[in-house]
Amino acid sequence: MKVKNITSMGVFLAFTCILSVIPLGVNILGVAATLQTFAIAFVGFVLGYKRGAAVAAIYVVMGLILPVYSNMTCGPGVLFGPTGGFIFGFIFLAFLCGLTVKFQHYMAKAGLAILGILVCHGLGVLQFTLITGMDIVGSILAVTLPYLPKDMLMIALAWMVAEPVRKRLKQIM
């Protein structure tokens, strides 16, 4: 790997960690909303599918020992707890958002980004259901429906902000 790739990945990893712990001042069902989803999607959109997914995977592993998850939490209890499936889903979200750079058509890009958030939420619901014993419909109502509108908005914002950033980075790197 080139030094510039490692450096850019490190910068975007730090960016993700910072945005993941800063609360937006809004609580959804008692959980502080953050820019975690925005950061992961942005990383994918800017760095592409390989480096974006790698940054997301490093973020997931980092959270095992450092408080980089939402609400400054960390550890195996969080990652393998009821909502840890969403954290695992971030790898797929970054990958699918990063894959959008391979396509010119906006519908293909939008479809991949939406698929990314749906896979992320699907893994979140699956792990929540398995750990809590709640039925799938109850799990969707509890952990997806309240957050899905915010997450879709975050994906759209990340896409809009990432386009000029990606173009500028290509120029300077």
pLDDT score, position 139: 94
Residue 31's pLDDT is 63
pLDDT per position as a tens digit, 110-135: 999 999 999 999 999 999 999 999 99
- Whether the pLDDT of residue 33 is over 90: the answer is no
| pLDDT tens-digit series, residues 55-81 | 999 999 999 999 999 889 999 999 999
Q: Which 3 state secondary structure label does DSSP give 82?
A: coil
Is the Cβ–Cβ distance between 64 and 26 less than 8 Å?
no
Look at residue 91 and give its three-state secondary structure.
helix
Class assignment of domain 3-172? mainly alpha
95 pLDDT band, cuts 50/70/90, is very high
Domain segments of the chain as ranges: 3-172
